[in-house]
Structure 1
Amino acid sequence: MTPITEVEGRKLALSNLGKVLYPETGFTKGEVLHYYATVADPLLAHLRDRPLSFLRYPDGPEGQVFFAKNVPPGTPEWVSTTEVPRSEGAARMVLIQDLASLMWAANLVTEFHTPQWRADTPHLADRLVFDLDPGAPATIVECCRVALWLRDRLAADGLQAYAKTSGSKGLHLLAALEPTPSSEVTSYAKSLAMEAEAELPSLVTHRMTRSLRPTKVFVDFSQNAARKTTATPYTLRARPAPTVSAPVTWPEITSCSHPTDLAFHAPDIAPRLRAHGDLLSPLFDTARAASLP
């Protein structure tokens, strides 16, 4: 029998709680739900008002993995949705605005991915993002070197950068913006990616071409495009172990000497939140939001 629980007055059917989703560690679906309940406050803050894209892996990362943006069939009527303009026509997407909606989405076994803009101002970005993706044998250690260069370069333009792990191999850098057309943010981010390549030619590429990426860090500026999304802070990732896209400090980035230094799993996050709070909370401070130069 599927257990029924009540969250904020909403009844939820939570299924297959004992099912192992992460074979490397034996992490179960019940533990996934517990993790998301534990990090609900900061995660909800980063999800709120941003249309949600689902990366689902109901049988674990070794099973079928599929990406969806439209409202899933069977979505409860109390889950908020919003109409989002697209080049091929408007679509309706989910908004995760409360704990009950978060637990419903988590029960679908979901990576959370969100754009850099909010539903009420589509295509006006309030965040800038860089995705630093290492090409083997480069690792997150090399990403840290690039992140420090980008942090200082952004600071020269009046933008304060914050960092999180991707939860996979690399790093994400974010900065708060005054609402700015996504196309302008993408152009600015591309110019910095090209500048990073010119300054660090043995370490950086700004081009996605696979043959150019081994040994280098791909500075992906394209996730600033209005149609693109990035892994939401605190989301679990569809990896063999329950890795998390976890906010990190600049001292941690500066001192990183081995990939395991910045590898965080679900059980690591609650202690980090107790120690640091949400390291990305400054992104919500409108006083810190900057205009592009």
Structure 2
Amino acid sequence: MTPITEVEGRRLALSNLEKVLYPATGTTKGEVLHYYARTAGPLLAHVAHRPISFLRYPDGPGGQHFFTKNPPPGTPGWVRIADVPRSGGERAAPQVVVDDLATLMWAANLVVEFHTPQWRAATPALADRLVLDLDPGPPATAVECCGVALWLRERLDADGIHACVKTSGSKGLHVLAPLEPTPSTDVSAYAKRLAVEAEAALPALVVHRMNRALRPGKVFVDHSQNAAAKTTAAPYTLRARPEPTVSTPVSWDEIASCTAAGQLVFRLDDLTGRLERYGDLLAPLNDPGLAGRLG
């Protein structure tokens, strides 16, 4: 029998709680749901009011993956749905907005990664965040990403923009910054300029083009996720990786002192302690007083 639980007055059917989703660690679906319940506060602070795209992996990271922007079949009527414009002038389409704990737990029960754009559902293509995705090409690792992140932090600071950083939950890092609402096209152009500058300043370390032939041993500074149609893995989302790794906010001290890629790998069991120790290291992203302005 599927257990029924009540979350904030909503009845949820939580299924297959004993199912092992991550065989490498024996992590069950019940543990995944418990993780999302524990981290709901900071996670919701970063995804609320934004249309959600889901990467579903119901049989674990070794099974099939489904990326969808549409509300999944069986979405409850109480889940908030926003009509979101599509690129190319297509008619607006519905997407889920995860604004509360009940919706978060309903979505987590589907076994998903949470991905969001850099803008809110009420103001499509008007970004309030900038993101630079640092992706290492082997044999480069997160260690090389840290060097690039520190350069980007200093460069952004020169423009009066406050940078934060998190792990991607995979191999690399995401450098993020709060912005005054700015057209996504302008943010994209600015982000590309930063990536080009980074390559010019660190030619042995950075590449700004996606061409894989250019990437071995270097860090690809992916600026493309600032485009209005693109999304980025949300802070605190679990990833569909062999182990239950989390896209985890980190401090700049941790970035500066990183000497081995494993130092910046965090799993779901690590997050409670980190939140108790550091709080939400990405809280500045939601502070209007820190929002930068592009020149």
User: Which TM-score band applies after superposition, normalised by the shorter structure?
Assistant: over 0.9
* Structure 1 residue ranges without an equivalent (≥5): none
Q: CA deviation at 1:267?
A: 0.4
Can you list the C-alpha shifts for 1:129-177, whole angstroms capped at 9, x where unaligned? 0000000000000000000000000000110100000000000010000
Q: How does 1:68-87 map to 2 (within 5 A)?
A: 68-86=68-86, 87=88
Question: Partner of 2:50 in structure 1?
Answer: 50
The one of 254, 260, 263 equivalent to 2:262 is 260
| In structure 2, distance between residues paired with 1:95 and 1:256 | 35
| In structure 1, distance between residues paired with 2:97 and 2:157 | 32
Q: CA deviation at 1:283?
A: 1.0
Q: Which amino acid aligns with 2:17?
A: L
| In structure 1, distance between residues paired with 2:241 and 2:285 | 27
Q: Which amino acid aligns with 1:98?
A: D
Q: CA deviation at 1:54?
A: 0.2
The alignment's C-alpha RMSD in Å is 0.5
The one of 194, 200, 203 equivalent to 1:201 is 203
Can you list the C-alpha shifts for 1:68-91, whole angstroms capped at 9, x where unaligned? 001111100000010001123211
The 3-state SS of whatever aligns with 1:164 is: strand
| In structure 2, distance between residues paired with 1:53 and 1:89 | 17
Question: Partner of 1:103 in structure 2?
Answer: 105
| In structure 2, distance between residues paired with 1:205 and 1:91 | 35
TM-score by length of 1: 0.99
| In structure 2, distance between residues paired with 1:136 and 1:22 | 25
Q: CA deviation at 1:282?
A: 1.1
Q: How does 1:119-158 map to 2 (within 5 A)?
A: 119-158=121-160
Question: Partner of 1:39 in structure 2?
Answer: 39
TM-score by length of 2: 0.99
1:246 aligns with 2:248: yes
Can you list the C-alpha shifts for 1:73-129, whole angstroms capped at 9, x where unaligned? 110000001000112321100000110000000000000000000011100000000
Q: Which amino acid aligns with 2:166?
A: K
The 3-state SS of whatever aligns with 1:117 is: coil
Large movers: runs of 4+ above 2 Å: none
The 3-state SS of whatever aligns with 1:82 is: strand
| In structure 2, distance between residues paired with 1:27 and 1:191 | 42
Q: Which amino acid aligns with 1:271?
A: G
Q: Which amino acid aligns with 1:166?
A: S
The 3-state SS of whatever aligns with 1:59 is: coil
Q: CA deviation at 1:28?
A: 0.4
Which stretch shows the higher mean deviation, 246-255 or 282-291? 282-291
Can you list the C-alpha shifts for 1:40-76, whole angstroms capped at 9, x where unaligned? 0000111100000000000001000110001111100
Q: Which amino acid aligns with 1:26?
A: G
| In structure 2, distance between residues paired with 1:16 and 1:34 | 13
Question: Partner of 1:115 in structure 2?
Answer: 117
1:63 aligns with 2:63: yes
The 3-state SS of whatever aligns with 1:292 is: coil
1:18 aligns with 2:22: no
Q: CA deviation at 1:292?
A: 0.4
Question: Partner of 1:170 in structure 2?
Answer: 172
Q: Which amino acid aligns with 2:9?
A: G
Q: Which amino acid aligns with 2:136?
A: P
* Structure 2 residue ranges without an equivalent (≥5): none
